[in-house]
Structure 1
Amino acid sequence: MGGKFAGTDLSLSAAHALIEIEAGKVTARDLTDRLCLDKSSVSRMLRKLVETGDVAETGGSDGRFKFLSLTDAGRERTAAIHAFARNRVAQALAELGPGQDHAILEGLNLYAAALMAAERAPGDVCAIDIVSGYQTGLIARVTQMHAHSYARTAGCALQFEAWVAGGLSEFCGRLGAPSNAIWVAMRGREIVGSIAIDGEDLGGGVAHLRWFIFDDGARGGGCRKLLGAALAFVDACDFVETHLWTFGGLDAARHLYDEHGFTLAEERAGSQWGADVREQRFVRRRPGA
């Protein structure tokens, strides 16, 4: 952690301090908390940044503390730090193969969601409940989650969102059939996930697993609960096989499918969703079939 950082003669903590100060209305005490450093270390670092002409101090309204701000030289140095970081990321992404950038993005989203969950106080954790059947706002919310997720991970556009909305609306009109079912994950009153089994559209004793999605900020055990509920329904209805379609590169979802007995049966190129994707069909045979 020592030495020069981001193409500058600064330490990591000093570079971090400039970025925090850039946001505005920052005091030395704020930096102590944000950088997880003791007061004496922050004082020494700030003294050097003031001496080099990167940071200026101005008195607060009550005179008890000083606000920190970047000078022109400090803003120029901070801009160079940002440019250095963007260039390093661009160079790394350029080394990835086709579709691997989506795997990186999905992994970062999952990790960020896990960090947020881990930082919540025990009393702040809102349990996720799995509820079967149609819920008010389901079509709009599930369509929204699909549109945002697949625009980010696969570049899908209007065509994909319209297909999800239309197909889900048609399916909800058939929920009265005993071979069809849908479940949603609820966090309080908010829908944060969904999954459905369409037992009619493929025929031949084959169940179609559809609209399996989970909000990035609520993933975790809820994904497995949803999939478990759907597969328990499939087995109770004696479907011989369960099929699902997805896109290549979604490694976290692929791992979940592998865990539950799905195998890749078909793969093909697709471009009807507003982006070039690898469509994949997974199949799970009924245990013992």
Structure 2
Amino acid sequence: MSDTTLDSRIHSVRHFKRFITRQLGVLREGLLHSPYSLTESRILFELAHRDDLTASDLTRELGLDAGYLSRILARLEQQGLIEKVRSETDGRQRYLHLTAEGNAASDLLEQLSNDEVGEMLVELTEEDQERLLKAMHTIESVLDKGLKFSEPYYLRPHEPGDMGWITHRHGVLYAKEYGWDERFEALVAQICADFVNNFNPGKERCWIAEMNGEIVGSVFVVQASDTVAKLRLLLVEPSARGLGLGKRLVDECIRFSKRAGYEKLVLWTNSVLDTARHIYQTAGFEKVAAEPHNDFGEGLIGETWELKL
């Protein structure tokens, strides 16, 4: 796919997003002319239609930052719409239930939503209604298979202070988990400094992953040549492991590298990093070279992996 074609498709999707949010009125301060935001309304809907949900369940289901969700839940609780009920089988677990007032609010939102959609549909012919429903089904089925926005974390570009965090956490974690010495931290610091000093936005990128208001991961794509990019400094905090974050970060690197016009994405890792190596292999990278070294400790084997884009 050419850059021109991709740019045109991006423009079309963004245009559709603006159109549909305007049509559905989700940008209004109160959804459906109610006192509740879109997020608050969705939370009330989930609690009305499912039993014994926890805050963690909502975080996963709605793809919300846990800190942001916590503030919304506190506001709904203060308004008397929800209550927290301790589990009878696990005292550490608290379920979220709607109060009588919460159920009334949810019922009102349900009726308002049905009325609004009904008004929109009756303005259309039977043929147009069928076309609309078919198109909606197509969009839902394509995006449900191809995109995921329900992770309990979110990704953002780098900001001031992030390079210090990346250097610090690499130094701490690799010393603790693999016994690597301060020379590795020095290498990470140099990579971060080079990235900032020579940053080329069209050809390079850093992703920072946040969860519960804390940074939990990072990765870089840096330019090696006009046709080759390097994936560098993939890191996932222990608290965020097992969530698919490492795979998501690598997928973002691959996607960006293709869009930036690179023909190959390469990386350097070490044989002891089993989890990272599995992610690379699953993504289609192939190991093309291996060489012993003692740069950060005794008996290490550095490996070069490549992915043709």
* Length-normalised TM-score, structure 1: 0.53
C-alpha distance in 2, partners of 1:142/1:191? 9
The residue identity in structure 2 corresponding to 1:122 is D
Change (3 A) 1:176 1:203: closer
C-alpha distance in 2, partners of 1:239/1:277? 30
C-alpha distance in 1, partners of 2:59/2:259? 36
Contact 1:154 1:277 in 2 (8 A): no
The residue identity in structure 1 corresponding to 2:206 is I
C-alpha distance in 2, partners of 1:246/1:153? 15
> How do residues 33-52 of structure 1 correspond to structure 2 at under 5 angstroms?
none
Contact 1:160 1:274 in 2 (8 A): no
Question: Deviation of residue 190 (structure 1)?
Answer: 1.7
Contact 1:157 1:275 in 2 (8 A): no
C-alpha distance in 2, partners of 1:195/1:124? 24
The residue identity in structure 1 corresponding to 2:266 is H
Query: 2:173 — aligned with what?
Result: 149
C-alpha distance in 1, partners of 2:184/2:290? 18
C-alpha distance in 2, partners of 1:128/1:228? 15
Contact 1:207 1:242 in 2 (8 A): yes
Give the SS at the match of 2:159: coil
Change (3 A) 1:272 1:218: same
Question: Deviation of residue 121 (structure 1)?
Answer: 4.4
Query: 1:272 — aligned with what?
Result: 295
The residue identity in structure 2 corresponding to 1:203 is S
Measured against aligned partners, the alpha-carbon deviations of 1:237-287 in whole angstroms (never above 9, x if no partner) come to 12111110111022221111111110111101111224431111110011x
Question: Deviation of residue 204 (structure 1)?
Answer: 4.8
Residue 180 of structure 2 corresponds to residue 245 of structure 1: no
The residue identity in structure 2 corresponding to 1:240 is E
Larger radius of gyration: 1
C-alpha distance in 1, partners of 2:288/2:177? 22
Change (3 A) 1:175 1:204: closer
Give the SS at the match of 1:194: strand
Query: 2:279 — aligned with what?
Result: 256
Query: 1:130 — aligned with what?
Result: 155
Query: 1:111 — aligned with what?
Result: none
Unaligned runs of at least 5 residues, structure 2: 1-53, 61-65, 67-151
Change (3 A) 1:269 1:153: farther
Higher relative contact order (CA 8 A, sep 6+): 1
C-alpha distance in 2, partners of 1:165/1:174? 14
Q: Greater share of helix residues, 1 or 2?
A: 2
The residue identity in structure 2 corresponding to 1:178 is G
Residue 252 of structure 2 corresponds to residue 229 of structure 1: yes
Q: 1:170 aligns with which of 194, 201, 208?
A: 194
The residue identity in structure 1 corresponding to 2:156 is V
Query: 1:213 — aligned with what?
Result: 235
RMSD (Å), alpha carbons: 2.0
The residue identity in structure 1 corresponding to 2:174 is Y
C-alpha distance in 2, partners of 1:196/1:148? 19
C-alpha distance in 2, partners of 1:186/1:146? 16
* Length-normalised TM-score, structure 2: 0.50
Question: Deviation of residue 159 (structure 1)?
Answer: 0.7
Change (3 A) 1:267 1:135: same
| Length, aligned pairs only | 165
Measured against aligned partners, the alpha-carbon deviations of 1:7-28 in whole angstroms (never above 9, x if no partner) come to xxxxxxxxxxxxxxxxxxxxxx
Contact 1:197 1:230 in 2 (8 A): yes
What percentage of residue pairs aligned between the two structures are identical? 24
Query: 2:132 — aligned with what?
Result: none
